[in-house]
Structure 1
Amino acid sequence: MFVYTYACRPEEESLCQLELRALFGKQVTGTFLSERKIDPTRSPFIKERIDVLYESNDWQELKQLVSEIVMGETTFKVICIRNPGDEKIPHDDRRAAEREIGTWINGEANVKAPMHIFGLVRLHGKWYFGDYHKSVPVWLGHVKKPREYSTALDTRLARAVANIAAPVIEGVTIIDPCCGIGTVLVEALSMGMHITGRDINYHAVSGARENIAHFGFSGEVKRGPISEVNEHYDVAILDMPYNLCTHATPDDQLDILRHARRFCNRAVVVTMDRIDEMMIEAGFKIIDRAIVKKGSFTREVVVCQ
């Protein structure tokens, strides 16, 4: 069992919930439990994970349970994570809980530079204790790229879209046939996803290749129209061309969707316009969605199969 926390800005709440539904297979809120083990660093919204070793309704029993831990020469610290809502524990009480539970662990505590970190949380009337893992915002290092477009997806959105497309990475093939300068490709490749990029624009393909190489990743980016895709993929990520930066007509967009339907089982469509009827006409069934706002831009992220 694993305990997770997450956080997002108000304008990202819809996207955050869509990503969490994709990763965990259900609607979750606040601090939550799951049997699924997800690396917190995958998500731009997950903050931390506790790999549960012990759980108990009784504080005294929990102390007895953690007394079984023998750290040897490995130093440690305990972090009591915040759980907002009815079970919120005041800051001073959380620090006291950390110190008290730490005294029952057989080993040397080191608050400033521990070799190992344990997590502690009160959730649904129970105490949970286990190994603690904090998210590392690696996507922030991908913000500045050698090649950029003003209308490209930001890295947080791109990373979330990749996770929505492939909640399970192993054995899943992905294509981004309108990849632009490769923002989604960079995020997907950084998580070990098997993704292929493609774009009809020579400068976009060149930029995507340069950006991928800049961050030390290796991935295939082809130049050509979506109509030339002959391979089959498990999922396609479609950041639809928008009229403000391309000459794509509604017929062009419908053509893109029809071709994607031909070679993929599922699609995650990012669009600035509501194109539900177009996706249905192309043969897709809409199963989930999110609305994302950033400044004057409003995008929809639509999951189809």
Structure 2
Amino acid sequence: MKNLNDHPSFIYTFAYNDAERSLCHLEMRSFFGYDTDMKILKSDTKIDPSRSPFMKGRMDILAEGDTVEEIIAAAHLFGEEGETNKVIFLKINDRQGEDKIENKERLHIERAIGSEMKGDFDLHNPEQFFAIAPYQQRWYFGTYTKSEPIWFNHIKKPKEYSTALSTRVARAVANIAVPHPSGVRAIDPCCGIGTVLVEARSMDIDIVGRDINPLVCIGSRENLAYFGLTGQVEKGAIQDIEEAYDVAIIDLPYNLYTHASWEEQLTILKHAKRIARRVIIVTIESMDDRLESIGLHIKDRCITTKQQFEREILVCESK
């Protein structure tokens, strides 16, 4: 068995439906550099699981072994005297079909590890959660952090548009745009009522908002304030922006209030390329050739659906 305190690594589990698969996988690739259909992955990258609308939790790996018996034998090394613990067997793992571990065995493993750990085993109100899971022919054990659905609290806003991104999609878009926020400056120059801004600011992403419509600027500020968030939202056209940013998020205007012709969209995209090294575009129409023509290269993409309404999310960089 290996003790991994000196080389931290993590296991993440995910939950999503078929319609969300493409979006979740793009978010995975943005965070970790790869995706998986197994809904469980291992990475050296540490992410707060509450950032993602698809993550169920994160295990901070403390030990690994070839068999679960190795983990049980070493359980006495973990926990703290005077504290209460609970061990959770991660139901999302890569043992499927004939190899699936049934509930009775999962409970046995949880109790076997918990009873050997320092401190007391408490099923109801533990001070510390631990997790155990099989993954890629190995067993992993570590502390467990459950995801909190912060985004869910943002669904009902004082100001809303029927065609705005859903809160879940907006949070994923913010993560795709800024997966690792340290030192990154972002802008949403067509921010509308601030659906992406609210999610980004709730994750302490350094982002500013802007919109040419004064009424939606007011609505965006009101939505931020409603959730106790701070953020700069200015009225103005993207053409007037002089500052440079690391990334721009462009949810192209197409609704009743701010419909933009292709020429207007092209202007927005050209200026997005001017002010940011990386551009995340949300669009309802295919525009690959047009983006290439203005020097924006598509590095990654996904499709997200809202009822029968499809949007494409494009990750672009300047050529």
TM-score range, shorter chain: over 0.9
Whether contact under 8 Å (2:79, 2:85) holds in the other structure is no
Q: How does 1:85-234 map to 2 (within 5 A)?
A: 85-86=96-97, 87-234=99-246
Counterpart check, 1:22 vs 2:34: no
Whether contact under 8 Å (1:174, 1:194) holds in the other structure is yes
**How far, CA to CA, are the matches of 1:12 and 1:247 in structure 2?**
27
- 1:194 maps to a residue whose letter is D
Match of 1:76 in 2: 85
Once the two structures are overlaid, the 10-residue window that deviates more, 227-236 or 64-73, is 64-73
- 1:4 maps to a residue whose letter is Y
Match of 1:6 in 2: 14
Whether contact under 8 Å (2:163, 2:255) holds in the other structure is no
Whether contact under 8 Å (1:118, 1:131) holds in the other structure is yes
CA shift in 2, pair 1:70/1:155, >3 Å: closer
Deviation of the 1:245 alpha carbon: 4.5
Q: 1:288 aligns with which of 300, 309, 317?
A: 300
Once the two structures are overlaid, the 10-residue window that deviates more, 271-280 or 187-196, is 271-280
Whether contact under 8 Å (2:13, 2:55) holds in the other structure is yes
Counterpart check, 1:47 vs 2:56: yes
- 1:64 maps to a residue whose letter is A
Segments of structure 1 that go 5 or more residues without pairing to the other structure are none
Query: Which TM-score applies when normalising by structure 1?
Result: 0.97
Counterpart check, 1:63 vs 2:72: yes
Q: Matched residue of 2:126: which SS?
A: coil
Q: What percentage of residue pairs aligned between the two structures are identical?
A: 47
**How far, CA to CA, are the matches of 1:139 and 1:42 in structure 2?**
8
- 1:96 maps to a residue whose letter is H
Q: Matched residue of 2:124: which SS?
A: coil
**How far, CA to CA, are the matches of 1:244 and 1:11 in structure 2?**
26
- 2:68 maps to a residue whose letter is W
Matched residue pairs, number? 305
Counterpart check, 1:259 vs 2:304: no
**How far, CA to CA, are the matches of 2:270 and 2:15 in structure 1?**
36
Whether contact under 8 Å (1:54, 1:66) holds in the other structure is no
Q: List per-residue Cα deviations over 1:199-257 (Å, max 9, x = no partner).
A: 00011100000000110011000001110010000000000011555331100000000
- 2:313 maps to a residue whose letter is V
Q: List per-residue Cα deviations over 1:141-182 (Å, max 9, x = no partner).
A: 000011111111111000000000011111000000000000
